[in-house]
Structure 1
Amino acid sequence: MRRRGDAAHGGKLAPRCGRVNRRPSRCADHRPASNCRRGAAIGAVRLRGDRAGSPTGCYDARVLCPPLGRVAAATAWPLAFACAAAWLGAAPPGRALGPTSQVDLRGVSVGDAPEPRPTARQRLAWEVRKRTSVQTRLEPTATRFDDPSIFATPFLYWSGDRAFRPLRPAELSGLRRFIELGGFLLIDDAGSDAFDASIRRALARAFPSRPLRPLPSDHVIYHSFYLIDRPVGRVLGPDHMEAITRAGRVAVLYTRQDLGGAWARDNLGTWTYSVVPGGSGQREMAIRLGVNIVMYALCLDYKDDQVHAPFIMRRLGARP
């Protein structure tokens, strides 16, 4: 087994990441593997710091090198983010099995602008876990574009209901790097023309050659898990979403339907905001759209390939 150094102290990562199917004789911190929890094996990288109940520096291999999916694109983000996080020393030390191995629907903010729907991400995480096989972190965290922790997750959620200050150079750099490494940013307008104007200015500065464009109604996001006709949230809003694409994938998705307003619940389980005009049916469709967006962010267009499978099989069957 190739021994790896401390990524935070100049050590090198192996050139490839792969699925961990067996446990080596020794853990990444050079102690017998019997002392390490299952999962901290080949592909684990020793990171700084300890946590009670976990081996020193053992980071879940499934976080840094998760199992390969049906198609390579389905796991493009973990490989890129793993390397970025390890090289930058951004990934926190974690248990071999625990919150660090779960998908964090991390929120992002700019300046002192508050998140208008603070419980929305928590509720979406719960819905994704309940409805799919994705293990989400039920208490999502928050970050900033100039914080290296953004590279520890493939998904960022940015919501607002007011204008915000221009992004600083470090924030613009972090946002660009996040997208370049395969990250997905969901921007949700909670119902403010001022926020909309600020967002458009910020994205124009960050991606001057990649303007927002309407997302086609037949895009895979609308059928990545559920079949959805049009985007809806707390309000109907426009009949389309907008996106910035990079290398054939949606990298930034912008909605003006206030999705978070439809997801949000209080501590007693009561829906925080009324959904108009469609009520509970519209809320359910907003939740389904949220699930679809998360599944697309994690799996890209694997479902698009599945949609074409019957046609491909018919073509194969028609060959002499």
Structure 2
Amino acid sequence: MKKFLFLTILLGAAFCARGQEIALLKYGGGGDWYANPTSLPNLIRFCNLNIGTKIATKPQTVELSSPDLFSYPFIHATGHGNVVFSDAEIENLRKYLEGGGFVHFDDNYGMSQYLPQQIKKAFPQTPLVELPASHPIFQRPFAFPAGLPKIHEHDGKAPKAFGLFINNRLAFLFTTETDLGDGWENQEVHNDPKEVREKALKMGANIIHYVFNY
């Protein structure tokens, strides 16, 4: 308990120093972690305009092994395919999440068969569970009564949001079969209709709102 409290205080102090900065995760395994380069900047602009955040407009890039990880309250990751964490990265991830950090992995397609195995290494006794539509992340500030929205089609499967909870706090979010990040991209990248992009941005804003308010 003392160790957990210390980590929480330490991480909280780092978060205060950086304010509302967020970062993109660079991970190993061969997946294209750098996919969707316009996504986070667009989401940040949307949040700053619509939900009162003051997030630094240029997101940073961070690795799980870096001490800088603890400077960001919200870490986003995306890509296609394999994800591999080293033992040191797993330990750092565990400390980060237990100390109050939040990680969101958005499957750009092909990640779902790899990522859960890596998370299980960090939290073998804490399973990823599917979030119900009643979870606060789908309620505020924008209502998604059916839960996670569908943005891009892949296999005809329903969108799913899986979470890992630490002391009843959602600390890790994995969204799959939705492609939120594609919806955050510049319009000309995927030529999505305005209503689809808006839906993706609103869901992203809900995630940001949850991180900074719960």
TM over 0.5, yes or no? yes
TM-score, with length taken from structure 1: 0.59
Distance in 2 (alpha carbons) for counterparts of 1:149 and 1:122: 20
Letter of the structure 2 residue corresponding to residue 175 of structure 1: L
2:202 to 288, 299, 316: 288
SS of 1:197's equivalent in the other structure is coil
Per-residue Cα deviation, 1:24-50 (whole angstroms, up to 9, x for no partner): xxxxxxxxxxxxxxxxxxxxxxxxxxx
2:37 to 106, 118, 123: 118
Displacement of 1:244: 0.6
SS of 1:127's equivalent in the other structure is helix
Displacement of 1:141: 0.5
Partner in structure 2 of residue 136 of structure 1: 55
Partner in structure 1 of residue 166 of structure 2: 246
Partner in structure 2 of residue 208 of structure 1: 124
Partner in structure 1 of residue 179 of structure 2: 258
Distance in 1 (alpha carbons) for counterparts of 2:160 and 2:87: 31
Specify which structure has the bigger relative contact order, considering alpha-carbon pairs within 8 angstroms and separated by 6 or more residues: 2
1:188 equivalent to 2:97? Answer no
Structure 1 residues 138 and 85: CA distance shift in structure 2, 3 A: closer
Partner in structure 2 of residue 168 of structure 1: 86
Structure 1 residues 287 and 149: CA distance shift in structure 2, 3 A: same
Partner in structure 1 of residue 143 of structure 2: 227
RMSD: 2.0
SS of 2:189's equivalent in the other structure is coil
TM-score, with length taken from structure 2: 0.86
Distance in 1 (alpha carbons) for counterparts of 2:41 and 2:14: 26
Structure 1 residues 85 and 282: CA distance shift in structure 2, 3 A: closer
Partner in structure 2 of residue 72 of structure 1: none
Distance in 2 (alpha carbons) for counterparts of 1:235 and 1:121: 17
- Stretches of structure 1 lacking an aligned partner (at least 5 in a row): 1-76, 92-99, 301-320
Task: Check conservation: 1:233, 1:283, Cα contact below 8 A.
Answer: no
Judging by fraction of residues, say which structure has more strand.
Answer: 2
- Stretches of structure 2 lacking an aligned partner (at least 5 in a row): 1-7
Distance in 2 (alpha carbons) for counterparts of 1:242 and 1:82: 25
1:273 equivalent to 2:173? Answer no
1:109 equivalent to 2:26? Answer yes
Aligned residues: 200
Displacement of 1:188: 0.2
Distance in 1 (alpha carbons) for counterparts of 2:151 and 2:52: 26
Structure 1 residues 271 and 223: CA distance shift in structure 2, 3 A: farther
Distance in 2 (alpha carbons) for counterparts of 1:84 and 1:105: 12
Distance in 2 (alpha carbons) for counterparts of 1:119 and 1:274: 14
1:127 equivalent to 2:46? Answer yes
Letter of the structure 1 residue corresponding to residue 164 of structure 2: I
Distance in 1 (alpha carbons) for counterparts of 2:163 and 2:191: 27
SS of 2:181's equivalent in the other structure is helix
SS of 1:209's equivalent in the other structure is coil
Task: Check conservation: 2:184, 2:201, Cα contact below 8 A.
Answer: yes
Partner in structure 1 of residue 11 of structure 2: 81
Displacement of 1:80: 4.3
Distance in 2 (alpha carbons) for counterparts of 1:170 and 1:240: 29
Task: Check conservation: 1:224, 1:295, Cα contact below 8 A.
Answer: yes
Distance in 1 (alpha carbons) for counterparts of 2:61 and 2:189: 21
Per-residue Cα deviation, 1:209-259 (whole angstroms, up to 9, x for no partner): 111111011001111211112212532652431111111111111101111
Displacement of 1:163: 1.3
Letter of the structure 2 residue corresponding to residue 110 of structure 1: Y
SS of 2:195's equivalent in the other structure is helix
Letter of the structure 2 residue corresponding to residue 292 of structure 1: N
Matches within 5 A, 1:32-43: none
SS of 1:196's equivalent in the other structure is coil
Q: Give aligned-pair identity as a percent.
A: 23
